[in-house]
Chains A and B, each alone.
Chain A
């Protein structure tokens, strides 16, 4: 048994729905355009959040501290002997030399990222093992671990042995001992991990030199302090910490999605200008309808409630439709519209299947930037009209 108060609300909702149905073609068009704008914004939000979370997962393989030698503002190979100058710094657990660079494969026309490192017990080796789908890290000369895209683009399938060219065009043969997980594709898709000796051999780098030195620390809370001590002990080097690298990723993805969002906000603004223009200039028949309803005993609040319901159904429907479409786009279509813009520009695009990272705060922000202005654009003009005397309906129409 419904109370009269509840019955009133149901009556108004009923009137709203029938009113929307009467102008269904116009309202469906508005919902679709509005949903498209919300879909674009929500997709960008979901993709950039997903990328950030994925980067966070993949960054477990980043060293805690990285030391690079700088000459004239450019990075150069660093002598492995620099590690000895760090022996006196308390808190350093291990210093490991690393070689890295890019290998252009003329067959597949793709650039691969090559990392050469020796296996060390504990520290980043354990973390690298976490992102291995199967197999093990290279433990001996001639062994390698590949990213999914490298394995795929080289068409290796069941093959466990393949070759790369040295600078003198002689062939270097490698045996695959493992593959990286899809979850770490953002950073490992184009990656070839070798032993230190193999990478020097591949790039023609003299022994005793590395691209950088990876430092693991005993207490992760002391990363900043240890990094400062290293910078003091090794002038002429650049010392990067894992939090700094994480921040860089946040900035890159944040900047890209921010840039795209600004572009989309322009579309949103245009939509609201149009809807405000439409709503503020209530059509004569809408004004007449409000006047008739008022003279028939409808309160100003009743008229506003109906307009509010109308706005809520249209904008809420568009919001749900837009957000659901964005979720489907990210989950089932691999963010195909926006991932190329947001994930990077490499020849090998990471084959990412993002799990959308849904943050309540983002959904609320989107709600506030889309549904609320639309409601205001619907209710405010109606309030201005409904506040006028209803006597106009007495004037013979």
Chain B
């Protein structure tokens, strides 16, 4: 299993007046090369669960093993290193830097990995061609359309060839055509061996036939539908 969560609890601001229990007793197993969808309303705990799977923060309690590493035992510095090597993120609003060119946005994850400029450019151009946006290479990200932004965000998530792709509400700001296009790309990635976890409550995602697993999340608890 590439992702193994067991009895995970996440409490924000523990011991303080504004303490929030975001996840309670969450257990989950995702096999390599499969596609999982976490379905839930806003504030249900989807993003927190993605954060733990994405090595952004460790759980408060429970056991989380991502790509063979126990998160609870990893200091923040190594958590970041593990995230850099293992995870590709696609965010709800894509989180691109608008003043950077498309090419520079895509190559951002490679800079701290010590990949040289020539190699960075080659990898990015291959992905731009794969997603049919090579003509936008030198455009600032703030000047391209929503559909192109989405593809740039996917390219950035793939640039360092991570085994796991996490997408948080990826279709929230896309129309139905672009949403279907996005899911088609996810199918291709899954076929190429990537493990994909999507968090969404968009029926175009949750009803997608390519999903291997779908789980509801309500009030921080997972339910199998």
Q: A8-B112, A11-B114, A18-B104 are in contact. Are A396 and B172 (CB under 8 A)?
A: yes
Q: Is the CB of A393 within 8 A of B117?
A: no
Counting residue pairs across A and B whose Cβ atoms lie within 8 Å, the total is 94
- Is B114 in contact with A7, judged by CB distance below 8 angstroms? yes
A303, closest chain B residue (CB): B112
Instruction: Please indicate the chain B residues that have their CB under 8 angstroms from the CB of A292 in the complex.
Output: 95, 97, 108
Q: A85 an interface residue at 8 Å Cβ cutoff?
A: no
Contacts of B117 in A (CB 8 A): 11, 14
Report yes or no: A11 in contact with B56, Cβ–Cβ below 8 A: no
Q: How many residues of B contact A (CB 8 A)?
A: 37
CB distance from B138 to the nearest CB of A (A): 13
- The answer to whether B93 and A2 touch across the interface, beta carbons within 8 angstroms, is no
Closest partner residue, chain A, to B114 (CB atom): A4
Contacts of A201 in B (CB 8 A): none
Number of interface residues of A (CB under 8 A): 32
Cβ A389 vs Cβ B57 within 8 A: yes
Q: How far is the CB of A294 from chain B (nearest CB, A)?
A: 7
Cα distance A158–B94 when bound, in Å? 84
Interface string of B98-141 (1 = CB under 8 A from A): 01100010001111111111000000000000000000000000
Interface contact B77-A299, CB-CB below 8 Å? yes
A299 is contacted by which of B80, B92, B94 (Cβ under 8 Å)?
Answer: B80
Q: Which of B28-36, B83-91, B175-183 contacts A (4 or more CB under 8 A)?
A: B83-91
Determine whether B210 belongs to the interface, using a CB cutoff of 8 Å to chain A. Answer: no
In chain B, what residue has the closest Cβ to A299?
B80
Q: Kindly state the separation between the CA atoms of A364 and B29 in the bound complex, as whole angstroms.
A: 60
State whether A299 touches B112 (Cβ < 8 A): yes
Chain B residue numbers with a CB within 8 Å of A293 are 108
A397 within 8 A of B: yes
Q: Are A295 and B92 in contact (CB under 8 A)?
A: no
Shortest distance between the CB of A374 and any CB in chain B (Å): 23
- Which chain A residues border B115 with CB–CB below 8 Å? 7, 11
- Would you call A249 an interface residue if the criterion is a C-beta within 8 Å of the partner chain's C-beta atoms? no
In the complex, whether A298 has a CB less than 8 A from a CB of chain B is: yes
Contact in complex: B83, A297 (CB < 8 Å): yes
A351 at the interface (CB under 8 A from B): no
Interface positions of B (Cβ within 8 A of A): 47, 50-51, 54, 56-57, 77, 80-81, 83-85, 89, 91-95, 97, 99-100, 104, 108-117, 156, 160, 168-169, 172
